[in-house]
Amino acid sequence: MGRGLVRRLAKAGRRVMVADQHADRAEQVAAEAGADQPGTASGVPEEQALAADIVVLALWYPATVEFATANQSALAGKIVVDISNPLDESFTGLSLPPTTSGAEELAAALPNSRVVKAFNTVPAPTLFTGEVGGTTLDTFVAADDADAKAAVMDLLRDSGLRGLDAGALANSRLLERLTAFGIELGQRYGLGFDFGVKYLPTTDLSVQALHRWLRRRRAACGPARSPYLGPRPAGRTRWW
C-alpha cells in the first residue's frame, strides 16, 4: 500500500515523505513510486515524517495502534489517516468484534489527533494504477472531524481518485467489513486483489453536489433532525 499511496499523493502534487523501519527501503519506494509525478517524494527519518500535517499509517492492525500509542505526542494535532483492515487469519473475517473498528481503536489511542478512515477498500495493485478498466476508483472517507475529512477529500480529488463521504468514523466498522467481503469475492472469482469497489449513483453525485444537498437538508431539518431522513415522526424517539 505504501507504494500506491506515494504514487497517488505525488500525483496530487504534494510533498510526500516516506518513512520505514529500513531507511533504504523508504528511499527506494519514494524514488520508484514518486517518479514522473507533479509532487515530490523522498525517504526521510521517522521523526521528520511525523512532522507532516497529514500522516498516513500504512501498517497492519494492530501495529497501527501500537505505533500510534508510542508516538502519541508527535501525532497530537495531526490528521492521521487509517488505511488498515483488522483481518483475521482467514483474510475474509475480522479480528475485532462488530461493535468497534480498527479506526475507532486508533482514535482511542490518539485522543489529541483527528483520525480519518480512507483507502482501506482499495486493493494495493489498483491503488497504484488508480483505476480499473479505465474507471476511476472510489474510496470511502469516514471521520468525526469535518475539517480533517475535507482535507483528505481534497487530497483524494487531486490524486485522481473519487472520495465519497462515508459519514462518521464508526462507519469504519462497515468499511473494514466491506474489504473482508471484497477479498472473499475476489477469492471466489479468482481475482486476488485485482478489483475495486465502485458506487454507481443514477444521477451526478459529485462531492460538491452531495455537500450542497446535505447543507440544504440540515438547514431544512434543524440540528436535532437527521439530514438524511428529515423530521422525526411525532411520538417516536428514533427515526426508524
Ligand X SMILES: NC(=O)c1ccc[n+]([C@@H]2O[C@H](COP(=O)([O-])OP(=O)(O)OC[C@H]3O[C@@H](n4cnc5c(N)ncnc54)[C@H](OP(=O)(O)O)[C@@H]3O)[C@@H](O)[C@H]2O)c1
Minimum CB separation of residue 102 from ligand X in Å reads 7
Q: Does 128 bind ligand X (CB under 6 A)?
A: no
DSSP 129-192: H-EETTEEPEEEEEES-HHHHHHHHHHHHHTT-EEEE--SGGGHHHHHHHHHHHHHHHHHTT-T
By CB under 6 A, the residues from 8 to 27 that bind ligand X are 20-21
Residue 232 neighbours by CB under 8 Å, 6+ apart:
225, 226, 238, 239
Out of 23, 39, 60, 186, the only residue in the binding site for ligand X (CB under 6 A) is 60
- Output the CA torsion sign for 206, 211, 212, 216: positive
Task: Name the grid cell of 118.
Answer: 480512507
Residue closer to ligand X (CB basis): 37 or 85? 85
Please tell me whether residue 124 binds ligand X under the rule CB under 6 A.
yes
Residue with cell 472510489: 138
Cβ closer to ligand X: 58 or 151?
A: 58
189 versus 193: smaller Cβ distance to ligand X? 193
Residue 139 engages ligand X in binding (rule: CB under 6 A): no
- Nearer Cβ to ligand X, position 58 or 79? 58
Cβ density class 61-76: b for 16+ within 10 Å, e for less = bbebbebbeebeebbe
Answer whether 229's CB lies under 8 Å from 239's CB.
yes
Neighbours of 78 (CB within 10 A): 20
Using CB under 6 A as the binding rule, whether residue 84 contacts ligand X is answered as: yes
Asked whether position 52 contacts ligand X by CB under 6 A, the answer is no
Q: Which is nearer to ligand X, 97 or 235 (CB)?
A: 97
Closest CB to ligand X among residues 174, 210: 174
The reply on whether position 67 binds ligand X by CB under 6 A is: yes
Size, binding site for ligand X by CB under 6 A: 19
Is position 123 an interface residue for ligand X (rule: CB under 6 A)?
Answer: yes
Angle at 148 between CA 151 and CA 176, to 5 degrees: 100
Number of residue whose CB is nearest ligand X? 84
Residue numbers of the site for ligand X (CB under 6 A)?
A: 1-2, 20-21, 58-61, 63, 66-67, 83-85, 120, 122-124, 193
